[in-house]
Structure 1
Amino acid sequence: MNCFTTTDKGMAAVIKVVTIRKSSLWRLLGSIFVLLLVLSSIYLESWKIVTTNIHYIPFGISASVSLGKTQAQDITDAEHLRQIARKVQVAGVNCEALLDGDKNEIKAALSLKTNASIPLMDSFYLNITTNCTDFQKQRGYIMSSLTNEERNFSIAFSVMVYKDAEMVERLLRAIYRPHNVYCIHVDYKSPLEFFRAISAIANCFPNVFIASKRVDVRWGTFTVLEPELICMEELWRYRKWKYFINLTGQEFPLKTNYELVKILTAYNGSVD
């Protein structure tokens, strides 16, 4: 026979409630843990799919560019791509046939792909830029304006960088045109070899320069904006450009220079 006083019964009730709440808490934590595992699995599987479909041009394949003057004309984007394909030769690939959907050429191009990427160290750019002409050819820079429309619509770019010379060089190669102008700001904290690599790349182009003042950029402070102002001031001496676009070294353009010109022309001097 068990005997309980009123106080004992009250304590027993409290203990029971606490036990129930503690049990519920553990069940809740367990549910959250399972949910996190499921979400992590989904994320990893998605990342696996993305990385599986990322392919790099094998190191050693270089693109040579031979561009003549083109007449200003109103052409479609598809035709513009074919113009590029006819003028830019990539070793081992017929770009024009590839754009036309030639099955044999697609098969040949697929045979060149690789999922392995060999990172290019900063020192690589110090060596390859000793001969700027070879550097431009090997890395596939477009050294002539593709259309008169682009040639007559110069764009100024500022690029804020602090690491990964390979990524910065890929970005520059994608946006580079000889009629545009580019200011690159290298963070004051960046390693010396990185700064030398970016400077060597810039020295290979007459319209690319390193900002004269380097800022120690700290997120959430005025120093984030300061490099932009420095580049804008130094770009001002190049009076022919019509629009200014600011980028960072970790970005990549979604539009070609030709598409940018079309969009900015439609703005007619306004700013979005």
Structure 2
Amino acid sequence: MNAKIKLPLKICCPIFVVLVLILSVFLLVRFSFPKNEFELSDSQKVEIYERMIASLREENSDYCGESMNYCKRPETRHIQCGEVLKRDKTYLSSIIEDNRIPLIRNPSLNMSCPEISKRIRPKYNMSSLKLGGVAFARNVFTDYELIEKQVQMTWHPDNRYCFVVDKNAKDDFKRRIEQLVGCFEDQMVMPVTLFMDSAGHNQNLAHTKCMKALLQYPNWGYAMLLQNHDFITKTVYELDRIFDLMGGVIDVKTGGVIWERDMKHLKWDPKSLKLFRNESAVPEDVLKTSLTFACGSVQASLSRETVRWLIETADLTRFIDQQNQIVFGGDEQMISTFQINSQLGIPGHFTKDCLEQGVSVEQVTRLVHWSSTGHANCVTKISRHGVCLFGIEDLIPMAELPHLSFNKVYPKFDWSIIDCAAELVFNRTFLGQDNQHFDEDYYSNLVTVQYHKNHKKPGYKLNCISNQKPRRYEDYIGS
């Protein structure tokens, strides 16, 4: 965990030498690297390096030592997150566009277990969690320093972490994840590496491997299925309370199937899929009824009972194999499909009623802002794979919206938003900063939660459109 500290001269000097050498080498080879949309101009890079050096030179600016406050990276120590939260547009305009601060990757990051532990573990004691902890299953391939930052932001002695690394990832990234996991063997696991891609192939398989591995750890109550650039913005105590309020429901987006992903030529009944490990315990009509498909997201939040059903009651092998035949986006259908097919008996299920009414049901696990009309539709004016990249302009939505995570956050695009959100989470977790926007009623009144609480009651009628005011991302920007 970062905090303001004072380094002795014998430690600072090598840091200055390294930074000066980096700056010198950059100036010598500045024309050697191909341009891309995230590459900074020479003058921008020089300015960032100069800030980093100046930050380390400041008297009483020792880096991440005994201070009990949050400490930003050298690149972003000048960023005044509070001014952004105060909606100071003049200040905000001074730290975006050409002045935006990306991550300057540290190729010499100390990966010894004591140093990793020092960066991750808080100096504060932590209270116990009502649900016994949260398990995080994350598919990863790049940006180690972001992954470590997310572990830092969500760390609790009761939480558990699983990573599946893409086999195409760079060797250095793989080694760093292996080292991270090796330093926390009682809390982390990396069961396998798989070939994964942005089209969704093997994403569900990776999460399944993680779910199975995480079940070896007792006590945790909910699991979050995540991808590389999903950025969690709630404290560990807020996550614990939210999942308690959800009461076991599956949280995932559900909507109609996109026609390109409709694989009707394949058999999708549980019998053909060999979905149940013990078919004798399942009614014959359930085994022979084809599944109704929904399209949603690979990101989801599942209770431990749901995870156990997916791993121990069901056998997902054939289902995932058939989903992998879809050219693009098959991974976005698995959890949504199991959620709405209530006849399967998966714990925390929903119903297909809303889908049949043409009503999509949103999730709180992840917020994504689609660049439906191109870059111009994004506050940051940039997108990836049809999704807007979040930047420092999005700090207020991250601070106030009920969603648990935001996608996509790219370190090489904007580290300011990462450090400011991390500082906010730190202050709310350890320094008593009140989250005035935390609305328990919002989670209690989710359509899926209301269904879960009431669907067995005689005469209950589901209202697919929530009576509470929707929380729209657009309402939190530009004000």
Q: In structure 1, what is the Cα distance between the partners aligned to 2:207 and 2:125?
A: 26
1:163 maps to what in 2?
142
1:189 corresponds to 2:184: no
Matched residue, 1:77: none
Whether the aligned pair in 1 keeps the contact of 2:132 and 2:220 (CA below 8 Å) is yes
Counterpart amino acid of residue 155 in structure 2: Y
Percent of residue pairs bearing the same amino acid type? 21
Q: Is structure 2 residue 126 aligned with structure 1 residue 146?
A: yes
Structure having greater relative contact order (Cα 8 Å, sep ≥ 6): 1
Q: Cα offset for 1:269?
A: 2.4
CA contact (8 A) 1:156 1:243 kept: yes
Partner of 2:362: none
Query: How far is the alpha carbon of 1:230 from its aligned partner?
Result: 0.4
Residue 119 of structure 1 aligns with an amino acid whose one-letter code is: I
Work out whether 1:229 is the aligned partner of 2:208.
yes
**8 Å CA contact 1:186, 1:210 repeated in 2:** no
Structure 2 counterpart of 1:269, from 213, 230, 248? 248
Is 1:133 aligned to 2:114, yes or no? yes
Q: Deviation digits for residues 173-199 of structure 1, max 9, x if unmatched? A: 111211111001110110111100111
Structure-2 separation of matches of 1:194 and 1:234: 21
Residue of structure 2 equivalent to 1:124: 108
Deviations along 1:80-124, whole A, 9 cap, x unmatched?
xxxxxxxx44579xxxxxxxxxxxxxxxxxxxx997555233x43
Q: What is the TM-score when the length of structure 2 is the normalising length? A: 0.32
CA-to-aligned-CA distance 1:127-182 (integer Å, 9 cap, x gap): x122x233322x2532766222x275211111111011111111221112111110
Q: C-alpha offsets along residues 6-40 of structure 1, whole Å, 9 cap, x if unaligned? A: xxxxxxxxxxxxxxxxxxxxxxxxxxxxxxxxxxx
Between the aligned partners of 1:204 and 1:229, the Cα distance in structure 2 is: 23
CA contact (8 A) 1:182 1:209 kept: yes
Separation in structure 2 between the aligned mates of residue 195 and residue 253 of structure 1, nearest angstrom: 22
Query: Equivalents in 2 of 1:91, 1:248: separation in Å?
Result: 26
What residue number does 2:339 align with? none
Name the count of aligned residue pairs. Answer: 172
**Compared CA separation, residues 263 and 142, structure 1 to 2 (3 A):** same
Distance 1:209 1:218 in 2: 23
Mapped to 2, the partners of 1:212 and 1:221 lie a distance apart of: 19
Give the TM-score taking structure 1 as reference length: 0.54
Task: Give structure 2 stretches of 5+ with no counterpart.
Answer: 1-50, 57-61, 73-94, 252-479
SS in 2 for 1:124: coil
- The corresponding residue for 1:205 is 184
Aligned partners of 2:213, 2:190: CA distance in 1, in Å? 7
Shift of the alpha carbon at 1:210?
4.1
CA contact (8 A) 1:171 1:249 kept: no
Distance 1:259 1:89, change over 3 A: same
Q: What letter is aligned with 1:147?
A: S
CA distance change for structure 1 residues 136 and 249 in 2, over 3 Å: closer, same or farther? Answer: same
Secondary structure of 2:226 counterpart: strand
RMSD of aligned alpha carbons: 3.4
Answer yes or no: is the 8 Å Cα contact 2:166–2:193 preserved in 1: yes
Structure index of larger Rg = 1
Between 248-257 and 227-236, report the one with greater CA deviation.
248-257
- Aligned partners of 2:124 and 2:138: how far apart in 1? 22
Structure 2 CA distance for partners of 1:136 and 1:117, relative to 1, 3 Å: farther
**2 CA distance for matches of 1:233 and 1:89?**
37
What is the CA-CA distance between 1:266 and the residue it aligns to? Answer: 1.2
